[in-house]
Amino acid sequence: MITFDNIKSGKLSLDTTTVEDYDPILEEPSSRYTLTELADIFGSDKGSIKHNYTNVYENILSSLRFSHVRLVEVGIACGASLKMWSNYFSNGEIIGADINEDCKKLCSSYKNVEIRIKDATLETVAEQFDIFVDDGSHISKDILSTFNLHWAELKSGGWYFIEDLRCTHNEEYKQQTVVQKPDEYFDRRYFLKLIDAITKACDNRWDVAQIIYTPQLISIKKA
């Protein structure tokens, strides 16, 4: 059973995490662990430690587990979720992007992980991928900018995920975040503009096949 005792204090992949490698030893082959178990082992907040996103991810992505998928995640923190993805998609290619130069030193022992220091709101992180996870700044305008840059690169049938959406309507988040952006960027209307666009695209059978909303996480499948 995975508990908090399995995780070193201060190693959780949260917004305030210090960039520091943490490599626990898996007692079994990675294929024997669920995504939630892997998240908890590596200290990712995607698992039962905090958000429980991994239940949603596994329901959607489990059929791809042993395929050669290309996954891009924006927002690295201490690299916990990249290590989780690396073990879950052992035949896949994992690309992590962050604006923090210190993140470049992470995950060096993970052969299928590549880290790119880029601002995903200003430039495309990668081309032609199967899965995209936006765990970046959680700022409303940044979410929209990142989507507009990367949706075209998502392959047909692929999935685009946006996490921590409570931040778009949490008045305290502006004070809590370490990311310095103009106050106007936090305006929820940018995220609502995205919601308006993707629901219309889905209704009209354009390039959005399916939208799933669970607490703080939206999952968008490309047609």
Question: What would the pLDDT profile of 72-101 be if each residue is shown by its tens digit?
Answer: 999 999 999 999 999 999 999 999 999 999
Residue 2 placed within a domain:
no
Residue 40 placed within a domain:
no
Q: CA-based angle 56:145:172, to the nearest 5?
A: 70
Alpha-carbon gap, residue 161 to 135, rounded angstroms: 9
H or E segment to which residue 196 belongs: helix 189-203
Residue 44 has φ and ψ, to the nearest 5°, of -85, 140
What CATH number is given to the structural domain containing 202? 3.40.50.150
The domain tally of the chain equals 1
Q: How large is the average pLDDT for residues 207-220? A: 98
Q: Given a cut of 70, is residue 8 above it in pLDDT?
A: no
Q: Give the CA distances from residue 6 to residues 15, 152, 197, in Å, rounded to whole numbers and listed in that order.
A: 20, 40, 42
Q: What is the pLDDT of residues 154-194, one digit of tens each?
A: 999 999 999 999 999 998 998 888 788 999 999 999 999 99
Residue 42 placed within a domain:
no
What does pTM read for this prediction? 0.92
Contact 136, 74 (CB under 8 A): yes
Q: Give the CA distances from residue 189 to residues 38, 98, 101, 206, in Å, rounded to whole numbers and listed in that order.
A: 35, 25, 31, 23
Q: Supply the mean pLDDT for the chain.
A: 92
Quick one: pLDDT band at residue 108, thresholds 50, 70, 90? very high
Catalytically active residues, by annotation: 138
- Write out the residue range of the structural domain in which residue 164 sits: 63-222
One-letter amino acid at 130 equals D
- Residue that the structure tokens 């996954």 belong to: 71
pLDDT at position 17 is 56
Q: What is the pLDDT of residues 34-67, one digit of tens each?
A: 999 999 999 999 999 999 999 999 999 999 999 9
The strand pair at 217-222 and 208-214 is best described as antiparallel
Residue 27 placed within a domain:
no
HSE on the CB side for 120, CA within 13 Å? 33
Residue 29 placed within a domain:
no
Residue 30 placed within a domain:
no
Q: Given a cut of 60, is residue 2 above it in pLDDT?
A: no
Quick one: pLDDT band at residue 7, thresholds 50, 70, 90? very low
Residue 14 placed within a domain:
no
* Of 67 and 3, the one with more pLDDT: 67
Residue 33 placed within a domain:
no
> What letter does residue 68 receive in the DSSP assignment?
-
pLDDT at position 18 is 66
